């Protein structure tokens, strides 16, 4: 039985990544696959507590520099990876992640200026070297993305449009550097068209294990 596949979804806030991850989860489950979806930060009691500090309106009052912010995301990642993701992959479950290590590289690294090399090293430590088999990057210009968010902004969303331009460019740089892992999808397209494109990418990944979907 092959190890389960790990697929992450990345993109700036408002790119529609969470909607797509949920659609893919439903689709694969409908086809009889064992599949789990987690969001970062979160997915464990510690992760949810970290999420509260980092993203709740209450947490927005707590000032923190980029490195401290990153280390909190990393703590959530270490907990989720060791306690949840790895055991699921070991029993051949497909794991979908709404954000993973690339979010820290894009947001805290390219966005907030934390040393990229430090993030890579700590990410490696937090994940024990685990990397997604496939990363779907939903690419969208920040003005369109931010205009889609119709709820109160969290801490990160308050960093503003210039910050998100840097994050987007950062993501595209990451995708260019690892073309085998990343698939960039135009997030301005129709929702169903995007889902279809993502499914094609997942299909070719599964085909490598001789699995058809
Ligand atoms: P969330 O409400 O899940 O937003 P989204 O639906 O856009 O993913 O909040 C996650 C926020 O945390 C989002 O603004 C991105 C940010 N984030 C980082 O800055 N670094 C990270 O490592 C992770 C995982 C998330």
CB 108 near ligand 1, within 6 Å: yes
Q: Mutate which of 9, 16, 41 to test ligand 1's pocket (most atoms within 8 Å of Cβ)? A: 41
Please indicate, yes or no, if residue 19 is contained in any of the structural domains: yes
Please indicate, yes or no, if residue 109 is contained in any of the structural domains: yes
* CB count in 10 Å sphere of residue 83: 14
* DSSP H stretches of helix in 12-65: 17-30, 45-55
Report the pLDDT value the prediction gives residue 2, as an integer from 0 to 100.
Answer: 82
Report the pLDDT value the prediction gives residue 58, as an integer from 0 to 100.
Answer: 77
Please indicate, yes or no, if residue 54 is contained in any of the structural domains: yes
What is the span of the domain harbouring residue 94?
6-207
Do 158 and 151 touch, CB atoms closer than 8 A?
no
CATH assignment of the domain containing 192: 3.40.50.300
Please indicate, yes or no, if residue 140 is contained in any of the structural domains: yes
CB 102 near ligand 1, within 6 Å: no
Please indicate, yes or no, if residue 50 is contained in any of the structural domains: yes
What token pair was written down for 167?
């994050």
Please indicate, yes or no, if residue 1 is contained in any of the structural domains: no
Please indicate, yes or no, if residue 64 is contained in any of the structural domains: yes
pLDDT digits (tens, 9 = 90+) for 149-189: 878 888 888 888 999 999 999 999 999 999 999 999 999 99
Which atom of ligand 1 approaches the CA of 73 most closely?
A: 22
Total count of domains within the chain: 1
Please indicate, yes or no, if residue 14 is contained in any of the structural domains: yes
Positions of the chain with pLDDT under 50: none
Distance (Å) from CA 207 to ligand 1 centroid: 31
């Amino acid at each position: 039985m092959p190890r389960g596949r790990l697929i992450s979804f990345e993109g700036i806030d408002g790119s529609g990544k969470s909607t797509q991850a949920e659609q893919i989860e439903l689709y694969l489950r409908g086809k009889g696959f064992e599949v789990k979806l987690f969001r970062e930060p979160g997915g464990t009691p510690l992760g949810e507590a970290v999420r509260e500090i980092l993203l709740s309106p209450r947490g927005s009052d707590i000032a923190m520099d980029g490195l401290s912010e990153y280390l909190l995301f990393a703590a959530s990642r270490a907990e989720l990876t060791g306690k949840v993701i790895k055991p699921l992959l070991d029993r051949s479950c497909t794991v979908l992640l709404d954000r993973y290590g690339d979010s820290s590289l894009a947001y805290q690294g390219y966005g907030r200026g934390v040393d990229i090399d430090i993030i890579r090293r700590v990410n490696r430590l937090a994940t024990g070297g685990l990397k997604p088999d496939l990363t779907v990057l939903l690419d969208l210009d920040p003005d369109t993305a931010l205009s889609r968010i119709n709820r109160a902004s969290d801490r990160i969303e308050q960093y503003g449009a210039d910050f998100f331009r840097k994050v987007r460019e950062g993501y595209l740089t990451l995708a260019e550097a690892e073309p085998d892992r990343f698939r960039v999808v135009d997030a301005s397209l129709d929702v169903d068209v995007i889902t279809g494109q993502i499914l094609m990418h997942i299909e070719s990944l599964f085909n490598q294990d001789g699995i058809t979907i």
